[in-house]
Amino acid sequence: MDRLVLGCGSVGRSFVERLLDRPGSLLVLVDEERRAKTLRDAGIDARGVDTTDPAAVRTVAGEVDSVIVAHDDPEQTRNFVGVAREAYPDAFVLACVAPDATGDTAAIEARADRVVTYTDPTTEFLLDRAGDGGIRTRRLQRVLRNIDGTLAVVAHDNPDPDAIASAVGLKRIAEAAGTDAEACYYGNINHQENRALVNLLEYDLRNLTPESDLSEFGGFALVDHSRPGVNDGLPEDTDVDIVVDHHPPRAPIEARFVDLRSDVGSTSTLILGYLDHLDIDPDAALATGLLYGVRTDTKAFSREVPRRTSTPPPTSSSSSTEAPSNASNRRVRPGKRWTSSQTPSSTDGDKKTFSPRVSANSPTGTRYRRPRTNCWR
Ligand SMILES: [Mn+2]
């Protein structure tokens, strides 16, 4: 689940309606089944549950990336933020309050990741980002920072290029978060190509054996597989901190951070996404390994490669007179705010343009989305 909305009064309802046309999944939890049914009748996925009980919320909603709390009553908002934080310690919690909210807003601010009012210009931006990969990356970073000691980033047994590059990539991300890490594997690297990959790129990999003393590690991350003791040499009861994988799981996965996307072609793709969101430039060796990981696991981009679903906006020369035609006008003015109907059509230095009313001009009616954001850095 990308986004969970807790408590849905009239304020919450207006937020939910603003969220409905955004990409990603959305679930609304309310106290009474009767109100859930009213929302479902309006086409909103809603369920009735005791929203004061974090365990019940978690059971019904499962894993979520972001929780949005928007209740008319600030007191209730405070309670829901508490429930959200307890149910989902790593989720991004966004609280929306009225501009003239009275009472204990400090308590809301203390536990939510962001508090906005619905007149705040950043609200639309944050609603867009809730459920977005940038937030997932921020949660990964939070878990990495809390590792006490050296993180063992463990690839699966006899690792293939995707597992090797992902382990080296996650080690790099951990180090950027201030956590020491080692890229590890059990078994052997047998294939000549894989040996050449490790040797030519001078990867520093640690070969663990059943005799290895694991107590020297402060945490464990699994890449390109998801369960300790299954396709790696770790004890099955290893307390796993992080799982990053693209294989469909055969059993529930337990870890403090789990990013398991079976519709993605390689684990290297997921690692590249984090590097991108964190603005970490991989060195040539890491970039080469990750590219090789993507290539081999996707059979040279022919397998599990997402189809392009959005249509770029028309260029300013071909669109209507509403689009700015003068080159100097096409530059982004500092301080200009984007709204959901004004999306910058390019991030390329000289060519930053605005294409107003993109969705209206787009032949398919889908809103063009900028491929990456610079939020959460
Ligand atoms: Mn793989």
Query: With bands split at pLDDT 50, 70 and 90, how would you rate the model's confidence at 243?
Result: very high
- Interval between CA 269 and ligand 1 midpoint (Å): 9
pLDDT at res. 25: 82
pLDDT value at residue 346: 32
93 CA → ligand 1 middle, Å:
31
A 10 A CB-CB count for 105 gives 15
Spacing, Cα 263 to ligand 1 middle (Å): 12
Once rounded to an integer, what is the mean pLDDT over residues 15-26? 77
Q: Are strands 257-260 and 217-223 parallel, antiparallel or unpaired?
A: unpaired
Residues by chain with Cβ below 5 Å of ion ligand 1: 162, 224, 266-267, 297
DSSP letter for 327, please: G
| 168, 154 Cβ separation under 8 angstroms | no
pLDDT in tens, 81-130: 999 989 987 788 888 887 777 767 788 888 888 888 777 666 766 766 66
Per-residue model confidence (pLDDT) at position 138: 81
Ligand 1 centroid to Cα of residue 374, in Å, is: 28
- 78-87, 182-191, 310-319, 349-358 — which is least confidently predicted? 349-358
Rounded to the nearest whole angstrom, what is the distance from the C-alpha of residue 286 to the centroid of ligand 1?
16
152: its two tokens: 């063992």
Distance 226 CA to ligand 1 centre (A): 11
Q: State the pLDDT at residue 270.
A: 95
Q: In angstroms, what is the span from residue 138 Cα to ligand 1's centroid?
A: 23
Beta bridge partners of 152: 182, 220
pLDDT of residue 129: 65
Nearest to 277 by CA among 135, 146, 163: 135
Range 320-335 average pLDDT: 35
Look at residue 93 in the predicted model and tell me its pLDDT.
Answer: 87
One-letter identity of residue 17: E
State the distance from the centre of ligand 1 to the C-alpha of 33, rounded, in angstroms.
42
Bigger pLDDT: 163 vs 309: 163
Entry pTM: 0.58
Contact 26, 19 (CB under 8 A): yes
Q: How far apart are CA 293 and CA 308, in angstroms?
A: 21
DSSP 98-121: -TT--S-HHHHHHHSSEEEETT-T
Distance 267 CA to ligand 1 centre (A): 5
- 8-12, 187-191, 261-265: segment of lowest average pLDDT: 8-12
308/98 Cα distance (integer angstroms): 38
pLDDT for 20: 78
From the CA of 14, how far away is ligand 1's center (Å)? 42
Q: 146-200: per-residue pLDDT in tens?
A: 999 999 999 999 999 999 999 999 999 999 999 999 999 999 999 999 999 999 9
In this prediction, residue 327 has a pLDDT band, given cuts at 50, 70 and 90, of: very low
Ligand 1 mean position to 160 CA, how many Å?
8
Nearest to 237 by CA among 259, 224, 220: 220
How far is Cα 163 from Cα 299, in angstroms, rounded to an integer? Answer: 15
pLDDT in tens, 201-235: 999 999 999 999 999 999 999 999 999 999 999 99
Decide if pLDDT at 367 tops 50. no
Residue 7 has which token pair? Answer: 């408590």
Expressed in angstroms and rounded, the spacing between residue 143 Cα and the centre of ligand 1 is 23
Coil, helix or strand at residue 361: helix
Q: Which domains does the chain have, with CATH numbers?
A: 3-131 (3.40.50.720), 139-297 (3.90.1640.10), 313-377 (no CATH)
**Cα distance between residue 221 and residue 211, in whole Å:** 19
